[in-house]
């Protein structure tokens, strides 16, 4: 445990400069955009005179120099203040905290689905490398990996929502259903079945293929030969010796895919009209709301860092070799 | 020649090569068979597929030829995929080589930048970049490359770090070659092949990212893409699902073709190496 905590501290400290690069980089990128939130606001109210524009700019601090505003932004950020969204007329932190849970449910469930199903199918494929089952699963998962997730979402909704009417077509829960507790949770779960499948099935292939190749590798190791020489049964060798050793790299993959899946959920949320983080990003783009977009990108970077820290700890707990050098130092 | 035969000898390689050849053919024939703008109206709206011989795959909501759109879209997808991947590979290998050769503070700084690009979801980055600069084909290509160059950069750096300790690099130094000469004549050519192996995956991801961007309406509005065809078909998903389904199948075949081709190529190369 001490080892894991030491590792955690190191990683957390080393990610601070990286996060700073993300913040400054995003700020400067969006600074280069033509037009600001005041322009977008004026467009929506049908224009205004120069005095109004100047006073609006001054009230949002948009009349100051880039460097001054970057400094202001960083000091505010140190107090967990991401600024004010002109599009929504609300603090950005509130908006993000309101939308984030929906995306976390979507992402977490999809990751869990692809990880569990992918590793199980990977065990099936890797139990006998080169067999017909193995080939079928490898090709099938590759085909699935080639499918655009938003298209899979559309097809699933045509089949299961429009034709069969099994699942709701959009949203995160029934609007004004008055449901509470377990009923509400079930309602949300029903809404999430299709989006989670659309996102999770795409990434399944990654875990399947990694598990499979890890197992194929493990079969060639001495301990596999030793287990066979001991006369252990095949299922026992596959589960206890082969699969167990092949599982570790998949944990790393989980962390690597977190960023990619967060990006993927932007499109899926648009397909299923889920009021999540990704839709917020789209709304920020549509409203030319640069502070909101910066806030979203910074939050997602923090999220990815946190997921990777979690993965590192899990890894250190699972594999005693990891972090041993850091603990000894 | 024998490499090609071995590539076509694996089932993956054969299928992948056939799919990619058909796509290139479709892209090349599109301006010949459908010289008119694929975004122009050619008939009544929502003609179902396989009913009108002059419009084999029917028309969309605005009466545009679906087959013409699909064929012109093939060119867009391939061009964006290959251009974005090329851009990412070049930028990534240059940064990675520089970091690996320079070492010290330069290496540290460059790798922190790589880290920063890696923790931002590349799709969000592309979204932000396109929204800042306005949607056009070069912008979309750059936006996709921005999220894809970190993989090649990391790999190139790792390769350079291992190569620069080899004897032939030491020999070149003893011979009096200048550092830049060593970098470009000894290190880079040997570091590149493993990095090139990433290119097919990056092409595939780029094709999918481009489709997702244009699905969200962030593609170049004057160019027909499969992603935008899916998005437009979405409005009539209940009555004419084929409008969204056909370009989706085209996308899937393209990406699958790239994956299969690269697997076949890796197989063929591995077998050549094991025989040598």
Where exactly are the structural domains of chain B? 2-275
Q: According to the model, what pLDDT value does residue B273 have?
A: 66
Q: According to the model, what pLDDT value does residue A9 have?
A: 82
Determine the average pLDDT of the residues in B138-155.
93
Structure tokens at A221: 């190791």
Q: According to the model, what pLDDT value does residue A262 have?
A: 87
Q: According to the model, what pLDDT value does residue B68 have?
A: 86
Q: Indicate if the alpha-carbon torsion angle A214, A215, A220, A223 is positive or negative.
A: positive
pLDDT tens for residues B238-262? 888 888 899 999 999 999 999 888 8
CB contact under 8 A, B121 and A32: no
Percent of chain B with pLDDT over 90: 35
Q: According to the model, what pLDDT value does residue B255 have?
A: 93
Residues of B in contact with A304 (CB under 8 A): 119-121
Instruction: For residue B152, name the pLDDT band (cuts at 50, 70, 90).
Output: very high
Which comes out higher in pLDDT, residue A61 or B25? B25
Q: According to the model, what pLDDT value does residue A254 have?
A: 84
Instruction: For residue B117, name the pLDDT band (cuts at 50, 70, 90).
Output: very high
The contacts of residue A41 (CB under 8 Å, 6+ apart) are A56, A86
Tell whether A86 lies on the interface with B, counting CB pairs under 8 A: no
> A interface mutation test: which of B127, B129, B233, B259 has the most A CBs within 10 A?
B127
Chain A residue closest in CA terms to B111: A18
Tell whether A311 lies on the interface with B, counting CB pairs under 8 A: no
**Summary mean pLDDT of chain A:** 83
Tell whether A143 lies on the interface with B, counting CB pairs under 8 A: yes
Q: According to the model, what pLDDT value does residue A268 have?
A: 92
pLDDT tens for residues A175-187? 766 777 787 888 8
Residues of B in contact with A293 (CB under 8 A): 128, 131
Chain B residue closest in CA terms to A30: B132
Instruction: For residue A65, name the pLDDT band (cuts at 50, 70, 90).
Output: confident
Q: What is the 3-state secondary structure (H, E, C) of chain B?
A: CHHHHHHHHCHHHHHHHHHHHHHHHHHHHHHHHCCCCCCCECCCCCCCCCCECCECCCECCCCEEHHHHHHHHHHHHHHHHHHHHHHHHHHHHHHHHHHHHHCHHHHHHHHHHHHHHHHCCHHHHHHHHHHHHCCCHHHHHHHHHHCCCHHHHHHHHHHHHHHCCCHHHHHHHHCCCCHHHHHHHHHHHHHHHHHHCCHHHHHHHHHHHHHHHHHCCCCCCCCCCHHHHHHHHHHHCCCCCHHHHHHHHHHHHHHHHHHHHHHHHHHHHHHHHHHC
The contacts of residue A283 (CB under 8 Å, 6+ apart) are A87, A289, A292
CB contact under 8 A, A18 and B123: no
Tell whether A22 lies on the interface with B, counting CB pairs under 8 A: yes
What b/e sequence results for B58-97 when a residue is b if at least 16 CB atoms lie within 10 Å of its CB, and e otherwise?
bbbeebbbbbbbbbbbbbbbbebbbbbbbbbbebbbebbb
Instruction: For residue B200, name the pLDDT band (cuts at 50, 70, 90).
Output: confident
pLDDT tens for residues B178-195? 888 888 888 888 888 888
> Residue A56 above 70 pLDDT?
yes
Determine the average pLDDT of the residues in B9-21.
87
In whole angstroms, what is the distance from residue A233 CA to residue A246 CA? 19
H or E stretch at A90: strand A90-91
Residues of B in contact with A145 (CB under 8 A): 255, 259
CB contact under 8 A, A22 and B119: yes
CB contact under 8 A, A21 and B255: no
Nearest beta carbon to residue A30 from set B121, B128, B259: B128
| Alpha-carbon distance A319 to nearest alpha carbon in chain B (angstroms) | 24
Do the bridges between strand A84-85 and strand A90-91 make them parallel or antiparallel, or are there none, so unpaired? antiparallel
Nearest beta carbon to residue A282 from set B216, B251, B254: B216
Instruction: For residue A1, name the pLDDT band (cuts at 50, 70, 90).
Output: low
Percent of chain A with pLDDT over 90: 7
Determine the average pLDDT of the residues in A273-287.
86
| Alpha-carbon distance A140 to nearest alpha carbon in chain B (angstroms) | 11
| pTM of this structure | 0.87
> Residue B275 above 70 pLDDT?
no
Q: CA geometry: angle at B130 spanning B129 and B136, to 5°? A: 140
Q: According to the model, what pLDDT value does residue A37 have?
A: 67
Tell whether A151 lies on the interface with B, counting CB pairs under 8 A: yes
Q: According to the model, what pLDDT value does residue B240 have?
A: 83
Do residues B20 and B257 touch, judged by C-beta distance below 8 A?
yes
pLDDT tens for residues A291-313? 888 899 999 999 999 988 888 88
Q: According to the model, what pLDDT value does residue A328 have?
A: 56
Structure tokens at A255: 């962390």
> Residue B60 above 60 pLDDT?
yes
Instruction: For residue A324, name the pLDDT band (cuts at 50, 70, 90).
Output: low
Length of chain A: 329
Nearest beta carbon to residue B211 from set A17, A148, A308: A148
Taking alpha carbons only, the member of B202, B213, B231, B207 closest to residue B129 is B213
Tell whether A254 lies on the interface with B, counting CB pairs under 8 A: no
> Residue B276 above 60 pLDDT?
no
> Residue A60 above 80 pLDDT?
no
> Residue A4 above 90 pLDDT?
no
Tell whether A186 lies on the interface with B, counting CB pairs under 8 A: no
Q: Residues 201 to 230 of A: which have CB under 8 A from any B CB?
A: none
Tell whether A248 lies on the interface with B, counting CB pairs under 8 A: no
pLDDT tens for residues A116-139? 999 889 888 887 877 888 888 888
CB contact under 8 A, B124 and A281: yes
Q: According to the model, what pLDDT value does residue B191 have?
A: 83
Which comes out higher in pLDDT, residue B259 or A32? B259
In whole angstroms, what is the distance from residue A146 CA to residue B114 CA? 26
> Residue A61 above 80 pLDDT?
no
Instruction: For residue A323, name the pLDDT band (cuts at 50, 70, 90).
Output: low
Do residues A282 and A7 touch, judged by C-beta distance below 8 A?
no
Which comes out higher in pLDDT, residue A146 or A35? A146
Instruction: For residue B109, name the pLDDT band (cuts at 50, 70, 90).
Output: very high
Length of chain B: 276
Selecting from 3.90.1150.200, 1.10.3720.10, 1.10.569.10, 3.30.43.10, what CATH number does the domain B2-275 have?
1.10.3720.10
Tally of CB atoms within 10 A around B188: 19
Q: According to the model, what pLDDT value does residue B274 have?
A: 66
Instruction: For residue B78, name the pLDDT band (cuts at 50, 70, 90).
Output: very high
pLDDT tens for residues B29-56? 888 888 877 877 777 777 788 777 777 7
Nearest beta carbon to residue A32 from set B132, B244, B255: B132
Q: According to the model, what pLDDT value does residue B96 have?
A: 92
């Amino acid at each position: 445990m001490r080892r894991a905590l030491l590792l955690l501290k190191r990683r957390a400290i080393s990610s601070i400069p990286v996060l700073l690069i993300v913040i400054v980089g995003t700020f400067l990128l969006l600074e280069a955009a033509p037009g600001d939130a005041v322009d977008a606001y004026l467009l929506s109210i049908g224009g205004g005179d120069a005095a109004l524009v100047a006073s609006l700019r001054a009230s949002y601090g948009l009349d100051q120099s880039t460097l001054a505003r970057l400094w202001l932004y960083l000091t505010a950020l140190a107090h967990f203040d991401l600024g004010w969204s002109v599009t929504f007329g609300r603090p950005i932190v509130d908006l993000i905290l309101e939308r984030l849970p929906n995306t976390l449910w979507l992402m977490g469930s999809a990751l869990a689905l692809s990880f569990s199903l992918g590793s199980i199918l990977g065990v099936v494929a890797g139990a006998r490398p080169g067999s017909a089952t193995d080939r079928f699963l490898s090709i099938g998962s590759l085909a699935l990996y080639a499918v655009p997730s938003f298209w899979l979402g559309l097809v699933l909704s045509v089949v299961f929502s429009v034709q069969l009417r099994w699942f709701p077509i959009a949203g995160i829960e029934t609007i004004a259903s008055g449901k509470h507790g377990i009923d509400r949770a079930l309602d949300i779960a029903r809404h999430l079945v299709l989006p989670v499948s659309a996102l999770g099935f795409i990434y399944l292939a990654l875990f399947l293929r990694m598990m499979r190749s890890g197992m194929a590798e493990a079969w060639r190791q001495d301990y596999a030969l030793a287990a066979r020489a001991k006369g252990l049964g095949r299922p026992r060798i596959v589960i206890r010796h082969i699969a167990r050793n092949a599982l570790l790299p998949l944990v790393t993959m989980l962390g690597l895919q977190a960023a990619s899946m967060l990006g993927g959920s932007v499109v899926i949320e648009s397909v299923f009209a889920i009021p999540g983080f990704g839709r917020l990003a789209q709304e920020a783009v549509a409203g030319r709301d640069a502070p909101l977009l910066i806030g979203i990108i910074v939050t997602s970077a923090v999220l990815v860092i946190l997921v990777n820290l979690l993965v590192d700890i899990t890894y250190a707990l699972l594999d005693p070799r990891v972090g041993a050098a850091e603990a000894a130092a | 020649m024998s490499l090609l035969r071995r590539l076509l000898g694996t089932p993956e390689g054969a299928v992948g090569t056939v799919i990619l050849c058909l796509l290139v053919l479709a892209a090349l024939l599109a301006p010949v068979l459908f010289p008119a703008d694929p975004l122009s109206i050619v008939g009544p709206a929502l003609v179902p597929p396989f009913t009108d011989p002059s419009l084999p795959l029917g028309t969309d909501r605005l009466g545009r030829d679906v087959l013409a759109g699909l064929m012109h879209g093939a060119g867009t997808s391939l061009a964006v995929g290959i251009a974005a991947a090329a851009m990412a590979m070049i930028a990534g290998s240059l940064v990675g080589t520089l970091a690996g050769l320079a070492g010290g503070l330069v290496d540290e700084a460059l790798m922190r930048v790589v880290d920063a690009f890696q923790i931002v979801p590349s799709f969000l980055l592309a979204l932000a970049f396109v929204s800042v600069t306005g949607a056009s084909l070069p912008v979309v290509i750059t936006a996709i490359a921005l999220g894809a160059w970190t993989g090649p950069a990391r790999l190139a750096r790792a390769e350079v770090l291992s190569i620069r300790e080899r004897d032939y690099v030491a020999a070149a130094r003893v011979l009096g070659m200048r550092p830049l000469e060593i970098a470009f004549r000894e290190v880079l050519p040997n570091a590149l092949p493993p990095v090139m192996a990433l290119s097919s995956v990056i092409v595939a991801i780029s094709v999918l990212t481009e489709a997702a961007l244009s699905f969200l309406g962030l593609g170049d509005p004057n160019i027909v893409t499969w992603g935008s065809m899916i998005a437009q078909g979405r409005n009539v998903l209940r009555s004419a699902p084929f409008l969204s389904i056909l370009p989706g199948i085209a996308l899937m075949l393209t990406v699958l073709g790239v994956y299969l081709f690269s697997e076949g190529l890796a197989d063929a190369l591995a077998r050549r190496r094991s025989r040598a």
